[in-house]
């Protein structure tokens, strides 16, 4: 194998997987920097205090810019490096896509409601207040927008782009099923690692978030679309933090519809990191996997791996 064939896949007409992924990261970083740094610099000229806020508004602003940068970066990397259409990253948006996204939205709310009710019944949380009013309305709206952005760009990045590229690159060695399994584990570990520096994170919480990555990936693996993962990701976070007042992966947003005081065994509840790091969160993830499989089987007649995840359809 000569040097050119080491870095270039002549059959596919694009760089080989390791090179594609390195170039993809470069494109993502540049796109995010170009779209994020100038607005922050301009804003800092008017009021530096606006950049120092810790509320939902400041998080929404910075996360929104990062999300736009990630989406643009993935589009550019897909088009000019991967030879893929943007839709092929699980974004073939049509009526069926929206129905599956609706299921994902319902599932995330259902799972986190179950976690809340079990803790309430066990006496592990105490509801100290139920808030309403204009101020909370803005927090809810801001949080919803924030979690929509996070749900879209994290799923697009980790499942749509990373998992897909890893599966494509490994299929020649591991076969389609083996490549998809490898890519799912690797992308889920990356998902956990991205949350390892969050407040109150531990080794247990990082492993738990990695398993959450498997739960989120499952809808993509079975349908070839990110509809279920995006919907599930949005409402899992929204109900966890903004509705029921739990920390979201260690982050406290300061206001929620239900204000709670957390007690109970940390091993079960997840403690200051939130339910994701506890046994109840793990049980909810297992239930999420089972319900996702049941939905796909009911809707499509079977629940098998979608080979489009590992087989590229070149532009």
Residues 149 and 269 in one domain: yes
Residues 123 and 61 in one domain: no
What does the pLDDT profile of the chain (315 residues) look like in tens digits? 566 778 898 888 899 989 999 999 999 999 988 888 887 677 666 655 444 444 566 677 778 888 999 999 999 999 999 999 999 999 999 999 999 999 999 999 999 999 999 999 999 999 988 886 556 777 888 889 999 999 999 999 999 999 999 999 999 899 999 999 999 999 999 999 999 999 999 999 999 999 999 999 999 999 999 999 999 999 999 999 999 999 999 988 777 899 899 999 999 999 999 999 999 999 999 999 999 999 999 999 999 999 999 998 886
- The answer to whether residues 93 and 230 touch, using CB atoms and an 8 Å cutoff, is no
Residues 153 and 251 in one domain: yes
- The answer to whether residues 171 and 239 touch, using CB atoms and an 8 Å cutoff, is no
Residues 179 and 48 in one domain: no
Q: How many Cα neighbours within 13 Å face the side chain of 192?
A: 21
Q: Dihedral angle at the C-alpha atoms of 134, 116, 265, 188, nearest 10 degrees?
A: -90
* Enclosing H/E stretch for 9: strand 8-9
Residues 220 and 251 in one domain: yes
Comparing C-alpha atoms, which of 14, 265, 311, 299 is closest to residue 118?
Answer: 265
User: Which residues share a beta bridge with 44?
Assistant: none
* Residue reference for tokens 């998992």: 163
Q: Dihedral angle at the C-alpha atoms of 54, 60, 66, 70, nearest 10 degrees?
A: 140
CA distance 78 to 70: 12
Residues 72 and 106 in one domain: no
Residues 100 and 220 in one domain: yes
Residues 25 and 163 in one domain: no
Which domain range does residue 38 map to?
A: 1-83
CA distance 126 to 121: 10
* 242 in any annotated domain: yes
* 265 in any annotated domain: yes
Domain ends where: 83, 108, 123? 83
CA distance 141 to 89: 28
* 88 in any annotated domain: no
* 314 in any annotated domain: no
C-alpha of 39 from chain center: 25
pLDDT at 96: 96
Comparing C-alpha atoms, which of 237, 206, 214 is closest to residue 107?
Answer: 237
* 126 in any annotated domain: yes
Number of domains present in the structure of the chain: 2
Residues 300 and 242 in one domain: yes
Residues 29 and 142 in one domain: no
* 204 in any annotated domain: yes
* 203 in any annotated domain: yes
* 146 in any annotated domain: yes
Domain ends where: 53, 83, 113? 83
pLDDT at 168: 93
Residues 31 and 141 in one domain: no
Residues 296 and 153 in one domain: yes
pLDDT at 5: 78
- The answer to whether residues 147 and 231 touch, using CB atoms and an 8 Å cutoff, is no
Domain ends where: 57, 83, 109? 83
- The answer to whether residues 44 and 127 touch, using CB atoms and an 8 Å cutoff, is no
CA distance 47 to 74: 32
pTM, two decimal places: 0.93
């Amino acid at each position: 194998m000569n040097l050119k064939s080491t870095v270039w896949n002549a059959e596919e007409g694009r760089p080989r997987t390791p090179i594609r992924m390195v170039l993809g990261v470069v494109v993502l970083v540049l796109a995010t920097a170009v779209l994020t740094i100038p607005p922050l610099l301009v804003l800092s000229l008017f009021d530096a205090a606006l950049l120092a806020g810790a509320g939902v508004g400041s998080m929404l602003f910075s996360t929104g810019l990062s999300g736009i940068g990630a989406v643009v970066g993935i589009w550019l990397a897909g088009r000019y490096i991967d030879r893929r259409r943007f839709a092929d990253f699980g974004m073939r948006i049509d009526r069926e896509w929206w129905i599956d996204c609706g299921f994902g939205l319902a599932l995330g709310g259902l799972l986190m409601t179950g976690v809340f009710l079990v803790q309430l019944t066990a006496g592990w949380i105490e509801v100290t207040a139920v808030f309403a009013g204009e101020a909370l309305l803005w927090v809810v709206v801001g949080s919803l927008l924030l979690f929509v952005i996070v749900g879209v760009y994290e799923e697009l990045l980790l499942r749509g782009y990373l998992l897909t590229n890893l599966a494509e690159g490994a299929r020649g060695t591991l076969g389609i099923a083996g490549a998809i399994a490898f890519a799912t584990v690797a992308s889920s570990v990356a998902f956990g690692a991205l949350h390892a520096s969050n407040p109150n994170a531990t080794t247990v919480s990082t492993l738990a978030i990695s398993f959450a990555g498997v739960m989120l990936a499952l809808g993509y693996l079975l349908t070839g679309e990110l509809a279920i993962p995006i919907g599930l990701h949005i409402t899992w976070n929204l109900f966890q933090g903004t509705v029921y007042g739990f920390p979201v992966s260690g982050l406290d947003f300061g206001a929620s519809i239900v204000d709670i005081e957390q007690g109970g065994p940390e091993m079960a509840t997840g403690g200051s990191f939130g339910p994701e790091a506890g046994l109840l969160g793990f049980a909810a993830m297992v239930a999420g996997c089972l319900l996702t499989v049941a939905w796909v089987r009911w809707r499509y007649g079977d629940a098998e791996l979608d080979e489009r995840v590992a087989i590229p359809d070149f532009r």
